[in-house]
A and B are shown apart, each in its own frame.
Chain A
Amino acid sequence: MPLIRNSSIQRKLTFVIVCTSLVGLSLACLSFELYERTSFRAAMTSELSALADTLGANTAASLAFNDRKSAQDMLSALRAEPHIVAACLYESHGVVFAEYRRAGIAAEFAMPPRREDGAQFQKDTLTLFRAVSLGGEKTGAIAIISDLGALQAKIKQYTEISVVVILFSILATYVVSSRLLRLITEPILHLAQVAARVTAKEDYALRALPRGEDEVGALIGSFNQMLERIQERDAALQGAKSELELRVQARTRELQLEVNERMRAEEALSEERKILRALIDNVPDFMYVKDLECRFLVANLSVARQMGAKAPEELLGKNDFDFYPREIATTFYEDEQRVIRSGQAEVNREEAGLDSQGNASQIMTTQVPLRDKNGRVTGLVGIGRDITHLKKVQEEMQNAREAAEAASRAKSEFLANMSHEIRTPLNGVMGMTDLALETDLTQEQREYLETVKMSGDSLLTVINDILDFSKIEAGKIDLEALDFDLRDSLESTLKTLAVRADEKGLELLCEVAPEVPEVVRGDSSRLRQIVVNLVGNAIKFTDSGEIAVKVQVETREGTECVCRFTVADTGVGIPEDKRELIFKPFSQADTSTTRKYGGTGLGLTISTRLVQMMRGKIWVESELGRGSQFHFTVRLEAADAKEIKLGTIAPPELLRGVKVLVVDDNRTNRRILEGMLLRWHMKPTPVDCAAAALAQLSSALEAGEPYPLILTDMHMPEMDGFALIEQIRQRPELSAATIMMLTSAGHRGDAARCQELGVAAYLLKPIRQSELREAVARVLGAREQEGAIPLITRFSLQETREPGACLRVLLAEDNLVNQRLAVRLLEKRGHRVVVASTGLEALEALEKESFDLVLMDVQMPEMDGLEATATIREKEKSSGLHQAVVALTAHAMKGDREKCLAAGMDGYLTKPIRPQELDQLLETYAARRMEGRSVAEHAMPKG
């Protein structure tokens, strides 16, 4: 087949035609042959039939007459037919009657048995059976057997002819087709040729010549068209190719540039990488990057060293299990896997590790998951630091701190104990001395005892200073932040110092600027301490003149204000070179000062520390011989001016618009009084001497507006207070006014003289605002009602303030001396005292009766004050009442106050009990009892 497939069209077609012809002819011949054969056979059959019939007819008679011979003779006539092989005549029963055999046929040739009529073609014989009938009756049969020679010969002949004919035809076909095929093949071959040439030379300009308009022609046409298109496309392609080449060139140039650039960038990167590598390798911390399986991707030198490898490269691809024992490696692995899986970084995790020598170490590790640009975790970055040493140091520090704290605690305890141990007996000494002084004594005894008292006071001061100083140095001082009335606090402080000032004939003045907030938040007791110190010093170093305490606001920022306190005296002054020194501990301006002036030299130091703690400054301005001004600033927070004034029972309308004549030679004093009076919306007119006062009174009277109230100082030059009053009383038209006298010191007999002169009030300076206000109010109010006006003194004020001011006080104190002391103090003031020696006794007493106040000693046997108070408070939870409990304690340590307050105490008094403080406390509770104010708003003095 391939042979045919690959031969030329010509041959193919020829072959096809020849084959076709062959097949056609063969078929035809075959058909004809078959037809001939069939017809020949039929002919033969009919021939033979006819013969048989004839013979039959002829031999019928023989058969009928049983004449075998004649039959046989007749049969032998068949000799004439060489094709007849044999013939046989049968009787009606099928028995052979007569036979004929052709010459040469073997005698054994068997006659076929009688069969049906008909012809039967066997391999090379035709056997024909015909019935012989006589007169319409079948009398027998005749069989003639003929060979097929004729047929075969005919066929042979026919075949031969066929073959010849076929051959000739083929030949003819071949020849003719060869010629005629050209019609078809030529154009095709031409096309093929052209195509081959086109392909060979790649010359698309060639064209095939069209021949005819048949399919081949169309093909040629298409072919040509195709070539044309190809040409066009070629051209286009060429064009595109050139363009492409240009572009490629351009691109190549660009790429080249890019490549150059990239190489540069890579170089830069490489450099950077080297730097970074150098950096991370030289960092003492461990730096590494691990993959998802915790195998090292990157590691620095430190890591390598830690793991015991020589170079970081050795670590790559390995994980902790290759270097560490299983347990440790498992821990590391789990930690890292946690970071990877959760996607959460773990920062500064402390873990135990091993170094290459197998020593245990502490490592602080930070591990952060590493993410690819899609945000998926691909590994982690770790940084670790060996903190073994650090940890050790920390431990040591911890130990040191604990030791220091222990030492500090020991110090505190010591101080506390000391405080208690020292103060308790001292309290006893001082208290008893006071009590003794209140009894009848001879002059001599009084002198002695007063000396004892003075010494005791000094001793107490010294001890307090020392303790304070120790506390400060030990850092055991805490500043409170409680609300308190600045003016009140200051005034009460100064009151305690007034006596000393007056003794030396010094004026003690107090002036608080109006801008200064009424209520501030701070440590009032420490403030008081500073003021006491400075004023005390001022008194000490001033022989004559005045000591003025001023308070101003320096700056104000929101609620915070910086107040400047000034203590100005007219004393000896401080030399310049000593001005710094005096603030230092244990130094004084003059070492001989100790002799002359007394004092520990700690006062200013303590004040300085306190001022510093209050975030202020302290400094001094001084002129030798003229005086000194000590300034200090403190930061205070202005608090809401809650009503913390107590005991003011005077309605403001009473005072409004009332004209007052103020007589005082001291300018500062006048200013102070004026200020106070203006505050209360009164109309003060200050004058500086008695003469001026008289003049004012007269002119006012003439004007028709007499003064309803006169406020006069006692100590004045030329004409003193009493003289003035006498003068006024001598002129009846002036004496309608109410007169109040203010004096620095209360001498005996003054009160009586005032009474004589009809002075409405006799008050001591420095006077507290509230006191003055009350006095004024009472004086004016009393004026409304006629009748004898009782002299109002400080004491009487006290008394009027506390009508039936007999408080029932429970004193819980175990120390007998202190007990007696406190009891005396209280009873002298007219209060009723019940004594308990232990907390338990106190509780029992409280069950039996009610008390206005409980003074609870903190340290008692069996049950101490704190516990007892706590118990009281517990009980009160259900009843809702509130028993006033004030602590008495020798401790003055930081924290004590908190403890007392925590236990439920309302206040706090230190032992030794200062009578003044006790008085204040009692005043407070008496007033409170009257007013019914809540306890929580009041800030208790500390002392």
Chain B
Amino acid sequence: MKAAFLFHFAQFIDWPPEAFKDGGSALTYCTVGDDPFHGALDASLNGKTIDSRPVRVLHFKQTQEAQGCQVVFLGTAEKKFISAALAKLRGTPVLSVGESENFAHEGGMIGFFLEDKKVRFEINLDAAAHAKLKISARLLALAKTVIGGPKGT
């Protein structure tokens, strides 16, 4: 589910051109730390395209390695880690997605959480804006909470 979300997120987000090497380079999803999806993300994303960019999934251990990615997913395990990660990623055109509590509040751009057994997410628009990522209103509309932005909570 989250994988699909991840995919779909990318569909609603525009990266600045410097995020990519070139026009046809891939849109990379990266995980830092242990793969929370355990390969499911690979499975579901590989081969697809977004905006005519092929999607690939990379797994890193360190955050610094993930700078070339467009989407970084931070698993819940490393809370501290997350903050450090986020601090590193701040300002880079990387969409940070996590599932930890208050991920979005901590500076993460999109944070999954469960509500009534349903997967919901929060979006930190400021962070996105800071990273020069445009997030479609539509996505915003779907988010439970939007931090920052004109709409802001």
Contacts and interface: CB of A to CB of B under 8 A. Distances in A.
A66 B118 contact: yes
B102 interface: no
B5 A64 contact: yes
A70 B1 CA distance: 18
A184 to B, nearest CB: 74
B88 to A, nearest CB: 27
B136 interface: yes
A61 B49 CA distance: 17
Interface string B47-66: 01111100000000000000
Interface in A20-63: 57-58, 60-62
A63 to B, nearest CB: 9
A294 B50 CA distance: 132
B8 A61 contact: yes
A66 B121 CA distance: 11
A137 interface: yes
A135 B141 CA distance: 18
The residue in B4, B10, B48, B142 that gathers the most chain A C-beta atoms within 10 A of its C-beta is B142
A134 B1 contact: no
Given A135-B51, A136-B52, A137-B48, A65 B142 contact: yes
Contacts of A60: 11, 138
A726 interface: no
Nearest to B48: A137
A67 interface: yes
Nearest to B55: A135
Contacts of A62: 138, 141-142
Contacts of A74: 141
Given A57-B138, A58-B138, A61-B136, A66 B49 contact: no
A66 B119 contact: yes
A60 B118 CA distance: 18
B113 interface: no
A337 B10 CA distance: 137
A65 B121 contact: yes
A64 B4 contact: yes
A137 B119 CA distance: 22
A135 B138 contact: no
A134 B11 contact: yes
Nearest to B52: A136
A437 B145 CA distance: 227
A134 B136 CA distance: 12
Nearest to A59: B138
Interface in B107-153: 118-121, 136, 138-139, 141-142
A378 B7 CA distance: 132
Given A134-B11, A135-B51, A136-B52, A61 B138 contact: yes
B81 interface: no
Interface in B38-81: 48-52
A65 B5 CA distance: 6
Interface in A114-170: 134-137
A797 B7 CA distance: 205
Interface residues on A, range: 10 to 19
Nearest to B10: A135
Nearest to B53: A135
A74 B142 CA distance: 10
A64 B118 contact: no
The residue in B11, B136, B139 that gathers the most chain A C-beta atoms within 10 A of its C-beta is B11
A135 B142 contact: no
Contacts of B136: 61
B58 to A, nearest CB: 20
Interface string A283-307: 0000000000000000000000000
A70 B138 CA distance: 10
B12 interface: yes
A66 B118 CA distance: 9
Contact of A64 (B11, B48, B51, B141): B11
A76 to B, nearest CB: 13
Given A61-B12, A134-B8, A135-B10, A70 B142 contact: yes
Contacts of A136: 49, 51-52
Contacts of B1: 66
Contacts of B52: 136
A926 B141 CA distance: 201
B8 A64 contact: yes
Interface string A206-243: 00000000000000000000000000000000000000
Contacts of A64: 4-5, 7-8, 11-12
A136 B51 CA distance: 7
A64 B141 CA distance: 13
Nearest to B140: A61
A61 B143 CA distance: 10
Contacts of B50: 135
Contacts of B49: 135-136
A219 B72 CA distance: 102
A69 B51 CA distance: 27
A136 B10 CA distance: 12
Interface in B1-41: 1, 4-5, 7-8, 10-12
Given A134-B11, A135-B11, A136-B52, A67 B138 contact: no
A230 to B, nearest CB: 98
A525 to B, nearest CB: 184
12 contacts: A57-B138, A58-B138, A58-B141, A61-B12, A62-B142, A65-B5, A65-B121, A65-B142, A67-B120, A70-B141, A134-B11, A135-B11
The 3 A-B residue pairs with the shortest CB-CB distance in the complex, in nearest-first order: A64-B8, A135-B11, A61-B138
Interface of A: 57-58, 60-62, 64-67, 70, 74, 134-137
Interface of B: 1, 4-5, 7-8, 10-12, 48-52, 118-121, 136, 138-139, 141-142
Given A62-B141, A65-B121, 15 more contacts: A57-B138, A60-B11, A60-B138, A61-B138, A61-B139, A61-B141, A64-B7, A65-B139, A70-B141, A70-B142, A74-B141, A134-B12, A135-B51, A136-B49, A136-B52
